[in-house]
Amino acid sequence: APVVAVVGRPNVGKSTLVNRIIGRRQAVVEDVPGVTRDRVPYDAQWNGRRFTVVDTGGWEPDAKDRAAAIAAQAEIAVQTADVVIFVVDVTVGATDVDEAAVKMLRRSSKPVILVANKADNQNLEIEATSLWSLALGEPHPISALHGRGSGDLLDAILEAMPPAPPIIEGGPRGPRRVALVGRPNVGKSSLLNRLAKEERAVVDSVAGTTVDPVDSLVEMDGEVWQFVDTAGLRKRVNQASGTEYYASLRTAGAVEAAEVAVVLLDSSETISEQDQRVLTSVVEAGRALVIAFNKWDLVDEDRRYYLDKEIDRDLKRIPWAIRVNISAKTGRAVDKLAPALRRALAAWEQRVATGALNQWLTALTQATPHPVRGGRAPRVLFATQAGVAPPRFVLFTTGPLDAGYLRFVERKLREEFGYEGTPIEVSVRPRK
């Protein structure tokens, strides 16, 4: 979600404004001497658009150098935000203290919205025009306390944001799209046949959706699933013409078209490089992932011993993948497939509330800070979830993070919020 930062001197009404923007769904701490409410992010929504509001306020109100404090605040805002809201108290007007911040904001390429707060009546609204002198564009007179003008302000904030990605959520959606992939002879067509037979009906159509003729609709566990690009499997042509090149093209296409992939492995054989490539293509495409160990009927105690070793060694980079042990031949545990797919898809689309995310992150980075590098340790300022399917997170930091530390944060994030069965992406935006 885009980040909107609120900047301004103490007492201009920043926390009241933040409360107004987030609709008081969460309580914003008031200015309390000695209490830092540095960079606290909140979830907000207007006209169906989600964004994150970062309250950059909260320095010592009796700080000796207020100009320096506000400049530092503006600097953080400029480096981390997509939109900056600069708040001035219209009953006081622009003061010298505002100047350092205004200069920096004007130099930055970030869109700045100038708010003239405490415009509780028409006279004060007119007074706001004097703020054109700050050269930050049109002043927006509002009363954060009474709500006057806040709708117009929210419209302006939305307009200043980067364009919204197309909205997919909501409304009726078709069946979940599944890619059934794996190297030749792992049992893909056997599994598809088994599923079609077991569940009586291979459905031909679902109301309100059009299904590509190369796809198969299969009912599993009371739900219709769309297995994409299975024409080759149904006709069993890929066996004869199964050169690795064409197999990998087919895999890439199916994975691209799907939301979740079932990667079939042959449990009776060593995990191969080709298996690894199939797994990699799913992770790199950012799709949810279920690994089905097929031909489990052939696994004896001996094989089990070596398979466990192979899993430890070869699947180490994807410990989060959901695994099921099945047999397309006997039908063993094939009913575990649908619940596994649902679990992976739920994680793939899971959104963590900004408040919960940052509470957890603050505790984590306090308990285990970044190691010191060249006399300094980069700090994580805050985080937002930038998207889902797959989940993407952005960490705003004071400097680049070690790859090891980033992996640590990612692992803990998975544990804390239950991200199982989906790749997640954690990127770092260091301030320069």
Enumerate the known binding-site residues.
Answer: 8-15, 55-59, 117-120, 182-189, 229-233, 294-297
CB atoms within 10 A of CB 356: 12
Report the nearest approach of ligand GDP to the CB of residue 302 (Å): 16
Which is nearer to ligand GDP, 296 or 382 (by Cβ)? Answer: 296
Site string for ligand GDP, 128-167 (x = CB under 6 A): ----------------------------------------
Report the nearest approach of ligand GDP to the CB of residue 267 (Å): 8
* Cα–Cα distance, 107 to 130 (Å, whole number): 21
Report the nearest approach of ligand GDP to the CB of residue 186 (Å): 4
Radius of gyration of the chain from its Cα atoms, rounded to whole angstroms? 27
Please report, as residue ranges, which positions from 239 to 298 form the binding site for ligand GDP (by CB under 6 A).
239, 294-295, 297-298
Amino acid, single-letter form, for residue 257 = A
Which is nearer to ligand GDP, 187 or 378 (by Cβ)? Answer: 187
Query: What residue numbers does the annotated binding site for GTP cover?
Result: 8-15, 55-59, 117-120, 182-189, 229-233, 294-297
Please report, as residue ranges, which positions from 74 to 133 form the binding site for ligand GDP (by CB under 6 A).
none
DSSP class per residue in 233-249: HHHT-TTTT--HHHHHH
Report the nearest approach of ligand GDP to the CB of residue 213 (Å): 19
Please report, as residue ranges, which positions from 172 to 201 form the binding site for ligand GDP (by CB under 6 A).
182, 184-190
Which is nearer to ligand GDP, 269 or 416 (by Cβ)? Answer: 269
Lookup: tokens for 125: 């609204």
Report the nearest approach of ligand GDP to the CB of residue 192 (Å): 8
Which is nearer to ligand GDP, 1 or 262 (by Cβ)? Answer: 262
Which is nearer to ligand GDP, 130 or 193 (by Cβ)? Answer: 193
Residue 186 near residue 158, CB atoms below 8 Å: no
CA neighbours closer than 13 Å in the CB half-sphere of residue 297: 10
Among positions 327, 350, 354, 422, the unique one binding ligand GDP when judged by CB under 6 A:
327
Q: Torsions phi, psi of 383, nearest 5?
A: -135, 150
Among positions 49, 146, 234, 329, the unique one binding ligand GDP when judged by CB under 6 A:
329
Contacts 24+ apart (CB under 8 A), 61-67: 61/10, 61/11, 61/31, 61/33, 62/33, 66/9, 66/10, 66/97, 67/96, 67/97, 67/99, 67/100
Lookup: tokens for 382: 């805050």
Which is nearer to ligand GDP, 54 or 186 (by Cβ)? Answer: 186
Report the nearest approach of ligand GDP to the CB of residue 296 (Å): 7
* Cα–Cα distance, 76 to 143 (Å, whole number): 26
Q: What share of the chain is helix, strand, coil (3-state, %, to 5)?
A: 40, 20, 40
Among positions 69, 105, 233, 424, the unique one binding ligand GDP when judged by CB under 6 A:
233
Residues whose CB falls within 8 Å of the CB of residue 424, separated by 6 or more in sequence, listed in order: 390, 391, 392, 393, 410, 413, 414
Number of chain positions touching ligand GDP (CB under 6 A): 17
* Cα–Cα distance, 283 to 423 (Å, whole number): 6
Which residues is 88 bridged to in the sheet?
Answer: 116
Residue 424 near residue 392, CB atoms below 8 Å: yes
Which is nearer to ligand GDP, 49 or 332 (by Cβ)? Answer: 332
Which is nearer to ligand GDP, 16 or 294 (by Cβ)? Answer: 294
Quick one: which segment of 273-281, 326-334, 359-367, 423-431 binds ligand GDP (CB under 6 A)? 326-334
Report the nearest approach of ligand GDP to the CB of residue 269 (Å): 10
| Site for ligand GDP contains 328 (CB under 6 A) | yes
Reduce the DSSP state of residue 301 to 3 states and report it. helix
Residue 307 near residue 298, CB atoms below 8 Å: no
Report the nearest approach of ligand GDP to the CB of residue 240 (Å): 10
Residue ranges that bind ligand GDP, judged by CB under 6 A: 182, 184-190, 233, 239, 294-295, 297-298, 327-329
